[in-house]
Amino acid sequence: MYNQLKHIITILAIAIIASSCRTLVYNIPDESDYKIFPSRVIKNSPDSVFYFLKSDTLNNIGKVIITRYNELLPDVKTLDDYLEGSKTAAFIIIRNDTILYSKYTGKYQENSVFDIFSVTKAFITTLVGIAIDEGMIKNVDQSVTEYIPELLEKEGFNEITIRHLLLHTSGIEFSDSRFNPFADNARYYYGRNLRKLVLNAELHESPGEEVHYSSANVQLLVLILERATGTTLSSYLQEKVWQRIGMQYNATWSLDNKRKNPVERGFSGLNCTAIDLAKLGRLYLNNGVWADTQILSQSYVYEATKRDTTYGSTWDFQYSFRLGPKQYGSYYARGLYGQLLYIYPKKNIIIVRMGEADLKYNPQFINEIVEQIIDQI
């Protein structure tokens, strides 16, 4: 009996280790994680690259920075101090299509590729809007089961809409314990079969009650986009965004595996340069227009970034975009370690920040720095 029990425990241990292999090997994510996952390439169009103008007239930006977070960086007095002390790899400030400030630290330069982590979700939001504009998705109030009928077997899933997924108010159960290798966020981040994983999700509460930020919501949007468009997420992004808004460099999108019907990691898997990420910000600043072409409808841009507390959302969160203080009217996409795309329509400002892994990073500290910068421009 003892030997049988020991054998069963051994088999279970092997199964757990096998399913968590990436988690155990790589453990804490970092900015170069794109190297550990298989991926699809998203090609730019060399004939239509868009270049921001460059200016040397405002190099005094961030001469004075005041922070309440002295325990993190006690010697921060200027923007340069912040960049040097916060493991910032790239920092770009753009206004009216002109680069006012650009700094790359250490080994990083303009063509350096970064895992942008959860900023990836802003691209998912964009692709959903384009699919709606093209009639491939009817509207955000469609039930997810219209595209994923397998979920009809699960109680309550027919009440979840695409809007709920975009707002992260689906009610799907998801544990998000930071750096816990057995939490759902780690299982999704390092998962080798995301299709199976997300289709096995369960409801925690009724849809539309409250925001519960989760990778499961976004991965369901990935499946919906695949089925609605009939192509891979990478191909759709390449055709509808990357080659249309003048990206300067190729990007990659990390996959869950390279053998069994792989799928893009939609919640945290797009890898690109800082300067190309800024161009998504420009698309939103221009209400979805690029070179006189409406890439994304103005109504959807507004819907994705407005301050609205209906459908269970909160005053500071919309379609995977976080909303800045009310007096700014700004919005931003933020990822692990302070990867940031910040959009400030009132002054036509885009700020991109890329950082290295830093377990002490504080997203509110980064926001405070950004808000002071836009006040100074």
Q: What domains, with CATH codes, occur in the chain?
A: 2-376 (3.40.710.10)
**Cα–Cα distance for residue pair 227/221, rounded to 1 Å:** 10
208: which 2 tokens?
């539309």
Read off the amino acid at residue 357: A
Contact call for residues 222 and 233 (beta carbons, < 8 A)? yes
126: which 2 tokens?
């964009």
**Cα–Cα distance for residue pair 14/21, rounded to 1 Å:** 10
pLDDT averages per 10-residue partition of the chain, 377 residues: 46 42 60 90 97 80 82 83 90 96 95 97 98 98 98 96 98 82 89 97 95 97 98 98 98 95 97 98 98 97 95 94 93 95 97 88 84 92
35: which 2 tokens?
């190297």
Q: Which candidate, 148, 154, 135, 166, places its Cα nearest to that of 223?
A: 148
Contact call for residues 311 and 169 (beta carbons, < 8 A)? yes
**Cα–Cα distance for residue pair 339/119, rounded to 1 Å:** 7
Q: Which candidate, 188, 209, 200, places its Cα nearest to that of 263?
A: 188
Strand pairing partners for 351?
A: 93, 342
**Cα–Cα distance for residue pair 355/345, rounded to 1 Å:** 24
Torsion angle in degrees (nearest 10) through CA of 366, 222, 194, 268: -20
What is the value of pTM for the model shown?
0.92
Contact call for residues 163 and 308 (beta carbons, < 8 A)? no
Q: For the chain, what is the total number of helices (H) and then of strands (E)?
A: 12, 13
pLDDT at residue 336, as a whole number: 92
pLDDT at residue 2, as a whole number: 47
pLDDT at residue 14, as a whole number: 41
* Residues in CB range of 275: below 8 A, 6 or more apart: 52, 92, 110, 248, 249, 352
- Phi, psi torsion values for 124, nearest 5 degrees: -65, -45
pLDDT at residue 15, as a whole number: 39
Coil/strand/helix, residue 298:
helix
pLDDT at residue 61, as a whole number: 86
* Residues in CB range of 183: below 8 A, 6 or more apart: 175, 176, 177
Read off the amino acid at residue 53: L
pLDDT at residue 26, as a whole number: 52
pLDDT at residue 178, as a whole number: 63
268: which 2 tokens?
């945290």
- Phi, psi torsion values for 104, nearest 5 degrees: -120, 135
184: which 2 tokens?
């759902």
How would you write 111-140 as a 3-class SS string? CCCEECHHHHHHHHHHHHHHHHHCCCCCCC
Buried residues in 307-332 as b, exposed as e (16+ CB within 10 A): eeeebbbbeebbbbbbbbeeebebbb
